[in-house]
Amino acid sequence: MRKAVALVSLGAMVAAGSISAATALHKDVILTLDDKTYESPGFALTVGDVLRNNGVELEPEDEVVPAPGTLISDGQEIEVRFQKAVTLVIDGKKTSFVTNDPTLEDALADVPFAETIKDAAFSVPQATPLPRDGVTVIVTTPKDITLKVAGKKTKVVTTASTVADLLVEQKLAMNPQDILSHTLDEAIGEGQTIALDRVELEKVERKEPISFEIQTRDNSKLWKGETRVIEVGKDGSALRTYEITKVNGKQKKSKLLSEVITRKPKTQVVEQGTKVSANGAGINLAREAAWNRIARCESGNNWKINTGNGYYGGLQFSKSSWNSNGGRDFAAYPHQATREQQITVANRYYAKAGFRPWSCKP
């Protein structure tokens, strides 16, 4: 008979006017929903009544202790653990499971791979209560990487998930012009090298020369291959401002920003010969250094010498060798020709006999 009374609904008993029964059905209950505990006084006959009084709707997978149909007593403790979906993204790979544990820390204690992530970094604190609608947590295991900052390498063990997180972890601020080897959102991988090059921009003012230009004119009175300076050129000067780019302290680039001419350069005017012999030959200064050495030995470098011994000029040509090698294209005698003309005739002779005709060798 007592069991039958216990199954009468609370509403029916109160409606029937049983005041003493209603008073007896008023209970002070302690209700724990996952990690939160409440005092829940009220009229209730069973655990299910308490849950309904508190607006708690259960899903089949939720755990309730005692069970919802259990009769309660004053001071009853009721614990509800809702089932939650947890997704762990471990180094970019997803794994999911369900749990009735109230916190992430409690849930992780039950997973079989807990040991492999014990030293990992989590995107939320492990003591975080798990929301009923589930949670996604980013997990990053420790990785050995090389960090290269301003050219200096350091071995680092990091649990940063991205390059941006690594910079924050290592307290590395970036200037807008600095160069990073990877994008900020790129994931960190085992054995990776991340380089941060420090870039400095500096303005420098320099006074620099401006090279003069050379203007060339033809002169039919000069032999082809001969030149003569008519007006000597002079360098000018300019005040220039450069932007110097330094990477890790070393200059890599220089960009001209502005220029002020402080002295204009003067153009050098040079005449070049166009005159050729009847056979079309002009001046040939090949082996010039060698002929200069021979002239120092043969004539003391006197290209106008005529001692009356039958040999003439800087290279001491005989009259016959001068004539047979086209020397008369330039002058009747070698010493009457210019140094350049004498060298030209010597090169003609060289084409036949090399340096053999000269007792002095280069």
Please state the domain extents for the chain: 2-81, 84-140, 143-197, 201-271, 279-353
What pLDDT is recorded for position 99? 94
- What's residue 279's pLDDT? 73
Which of 131, 38, 108 minimizes the C-alpha distance to 79? 38
Using the 8-state DSSP alphabet, how is residue 320 labeled? H
State the Rg of the chain over Cα.
Answer: 51
Report the CATH number of the 2-81 domain.
3.10.20
Six-digit token string for 87: 């997704």
| Residue 133, burial from CB neighbour count under 10 angstroms (0-12, 13-18, 19+) | exposed
CATH classification code of 279-353:
1.10.530.10
Beta bridge partners of 199: 247
Q: Which CATH code of 2.20.230.10, 2.60.40.420, 2.40.30.110, 1.10.640.10 fits the domain covering 201-271?
A: 2.20.230.10
Q: What is the pLDDT of residues 275-307, one digit of tens each?
A: 887 777 788 999 999 999 999 999 999 999 999
Taking the C-alpha atoms of residue 71 and residue 2, their distance in angstroms, rounded to an integer, is 13
The CATH code belonging to domain 84-140 is 3.10.20
| Distance from the first to the final alpha carbon of the chain | 140
- In the prediction, which pLDDT does 349 show? 96
For residue 167, give the 3-state DSSP assignment. helix
Q: Which two tokens stand for residue 74?
A: 């004053």
Distance of CA 255 to the CA centre of its chain: 20
Give the model's pLDDT for residue 12.
47
- The reply to whether 84-140 shares the fold of 2-81 is yes
Burial class (CB in 10 A: 0-12, 13-18, 19+), 284: buried
Residue partners of 97: CB distance under 8 A and separation at least 6: 85, 86, 107, 111
Tell which residue, 354, 352, 360, has the closest CA to residue 311: 360
Residues of the chain with pLDDT > 70, as a percent, come to: 93
Q: Which residues pair with 318 in a beta bridge?
A: 311
Residue 55, burial from CB neighbour count under 10 angstroms (0-12, 13-18, 19+) = exposed
Compute, in degrees rounded to 10, the torsion defined by CA atoms 29, 34, 35, 39.
-10
Name every residue whose Cβ is closer than 8 Å to that of residue 154 and which is 6 or more positions away in sequence: 146, 147, 148
Q: Which amino acid is at 2?
A: R
Contact 349, 357 (CB under 8 A): yes
For residue 14, pLDDT over 50 is answered with no
Q: Count of CB atoms within 10 A of residue 90's CB?
A: 16
The least confident of 73-77, 94-98, 219-223, 343-347 is: 219-223
The pTM (predicted TM-score) of the whole model is 0.53
Mean model confidence pLDDT for the chain: 90
Q: Tokens 């090279």: give the residue.
A: 211
Strand order in the sheet with 199-210: 199-210, 236-247, 250-263
Closest by CA position to 275, among listed 283, 267, 265, 287: 283
Distances 222 to 171, 263, 270, 313 between C-alpha atoms, Å: 75, 34, 12, 20
What are the tens digits of pLDDT across the range 150-201?
999 999 999 998 999 999 999 999 999 999 999 999 999 999 999 999 999 9
Give me the CATH topology for the region 143-197. Answer: Ubiquitin-like (UB roll) (3.10.20)
Given a cut of 70, whether residue 244 has pLDDT beyond it is yes
Q: Please write the tens of the pLDDT for every residue from 301-329.
A: 999 999 999 999 999 999 999 999 999 98
Query: In the predicted model, what is the mean pLDDT of residues 133-154?
Result: 95
Q: In sequence order, what are the beta bridge partners of 224?
A: 273
Region 5-10: mean pLDDT is 38
CA distances from 199 to 184, 204, 205 (A): 17, 16, 20
Residue pointed to by tokens 């009084």: 53
Asked whether residue 84 carries a pLDDT value surpassing 90, the answer given is yes
In the chain, the percentage of residues whose pLDDT exceeds 90 is 81
